[in-house]
């Protein structure tokens, strides 16, 4: 034991420079990541700014109960979960499909063109994307209405119809991130042993069969790891885009947990209550992540840890 401690001390002394460097980012992690976690206790206290986080009186689970008992609890939960599931169901497979298509295209220039063009929207800001959605939804001259008009549909202001909120959110997400999220799969596909395809050709496999029996299995571990990470974020719908997209008319479909926290916490100053709501959200996320990882490790032996 003593020997071990001595060894450790020696190793630390030898690399003291490394620890000094590390001290700055580590301090950042403690201050900006771990202190807020410590601050989560205000979810169980009636926070009073003059008393501070540690002196405010304990109230137990009052704020959690208040949220669960509120008339809007199920609506907000449903909006969050359904939007997230919808985003995942459409948004997760699309980059894989795109990567497979790109992988099958033989003309190198065309291949490069698809890649470079589909990466582009990734560089636009959320404000710009939502502005485009708003402009395109304009009843009189928006792009969407021009396109639906070609098929004889009556013009609709899509942004002010609750029913269109989720599709607009999800498909604009796919439009923006599909290309960029495909990169990882394209890279994985380029690493597949070409001899596998040749052997399959000799056996008379069609191109579609090669995709299903060679390409897909070869990128499966990448897919699984990304899928687990995605599950861990199932309950966290990006605040920025939802907040910019929502308006008073679509609130019934567009109010999600994160926008609710922003409005009640930062705008109205109900710090304890909104912290409790946020904590409920992150705990569920964490449980989902751990379970997804567990299931994946049992069944496929791939996992995040």
68 vs 141 by CB, closer to other proteins:
141
- Rounded distance between C-alpha atoms, residue 302 and residue 305, angstroms: 9
By CB under 8 A, the residues from 82 to 121 that bind other proteins are 98, 101-102, 104-107, 110, 113-114, 116-121
Of 60-68, 78-86, 139-147, 192-200, the segment contacting other proteins by CB under 8 A is: 139-147
Q: Minimum Å distance from CB 125 to other proteins? A: 4
Identify the residue among 126, 192, 196, 200 touching other proteins (CB under 8 A).
126
The answer to whether the CB of 136 falls within 8 A of the CB of 56 is: no
Which position among 2, 5, 32, 71 is part of the footprint of other proteins (CB under 8 A)?
A: 32
Under rule CB under 8 A, which residues in 241-280 are in contact with other proteins? 244, 258, 261-262, 265-266, 271, 274-275, 278-279
Helix (H, G, I), strand (E, B) or coil at 224: helix
Chain positions 223 to 242 lying near other proteins, rule: CB under 8 A, are 225-226, 229, 232, 239-240
Residue 261 CB, nearest approach to other proteins (Å): 5
Interaction residues for other proteins, span 150-209 (CB under 8 A): 175, 179-180, 183-184, 187-188, 204, 206-208
**Complex with other proteins: residue 83 or 102, whichever CB lies closer:** 102
d(CA 62, CA 77): 19
Q: Which is nearer to other proteins, 53 or 59 (CB)?
A: 53
* Complex with other proteins: residue 18 or 61, whichever CB lies closer: 18
Query: Which SS3 state, helix, strand or coil, does residue 45 take?
Result: strand
Rounded Cα distance, 106 and 97, in Å: 16
Among 130, 168, 235, 253, binds other proteins (CB under 8 A): 130
Phi-psi label, residue 75: left if phi above 0, alpha if psi -120 to 50, beta otherwise: alpha
**CA separation for the pair 156, 148 (Å, rounded):** 9
- Single residue of 21, 89, 199, 220 touching other proteins by CB under 8 A: 21
284-295 burial, b at 16+ Cβ within 10 Å, e below that, comes to bbeebbeebbee
Q: Is 220 in the site for other proteins (CB under 8 A)?
A: no
Alpha helices, DSSP H only, in the chain? 2-14, 16-29, 35-39, 62-69, 73-91, 93-104, 108-119, 126-137, 143-150, 162-190, 194-202, 207-210, 216-218, 220-231, 239-245, 251-254, 257-261, 271-300
Q: Could you tell me which stretch among 60-68, 84-92, 128-136, 160-168 binds other proteins (CB under 8 A)?
A: 128-136
């Amino acid at each position: 034991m003593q020997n071990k401690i001595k060894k450790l001390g020696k190793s630390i002394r030898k690399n003291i420079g490394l620890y000094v460097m590390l001290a700055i980012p580590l301090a950042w992690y403690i201050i900006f990541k771990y202190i807020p976690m410590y601050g989560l206790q205000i979810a169980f206290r009636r926070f009073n700014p003059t008393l501070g986080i540690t002196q405010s009186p304990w109230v137990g689970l009052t704020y959690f109960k208040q949220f669960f008992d509120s008339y809007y609890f199920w609506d907000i939960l449903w909006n969050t979960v359904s939007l997230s599931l919808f985003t995942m169901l459409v948004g997760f497979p699309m980059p894989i499909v795109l990567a497979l298509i790109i992988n099958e295209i033989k003309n190198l220039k065309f291949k490069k063109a698809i890649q470079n063009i589909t990466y582009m929207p990734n560089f636009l800001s959320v404000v710009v994307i939502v502005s485009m959605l708003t402009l395109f939804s304009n009843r009189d001259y928006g792009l969407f209405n021009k396109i639906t008009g070609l098929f004889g549909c009556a013009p609709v202001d899509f942004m002010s119809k609750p029913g269109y909120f989720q599709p607009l959110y999800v498909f604009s997400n796919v439009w923006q991130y599909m290309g960029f999220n495909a990169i990882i799969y394209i890279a994985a596909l380029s690493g597949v042993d070409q001899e596998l395809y040749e052997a399959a050709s000799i056996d008379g496999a069609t191109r579609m069969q090669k995709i299903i029996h060679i390409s897909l299995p070869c990128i499966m571990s990448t897919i699984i790891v990304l899928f687990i990470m995605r599950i861990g974020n199932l309950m966290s719908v990006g605040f920025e885009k939802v907040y910019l997209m929502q308006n008073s008319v679509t609130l019934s479909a567009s109010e999600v947990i994160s926008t609710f926290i922003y409005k009640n916490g930062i705008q109205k100053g109900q710090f304890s209550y909104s912290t409790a709501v946020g904590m409920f959200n992150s705990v569920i996320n964490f449980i989902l992540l751990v379970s997804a990882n567990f299931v994946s490790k049992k069944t496929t032996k791939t996992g995040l840890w």
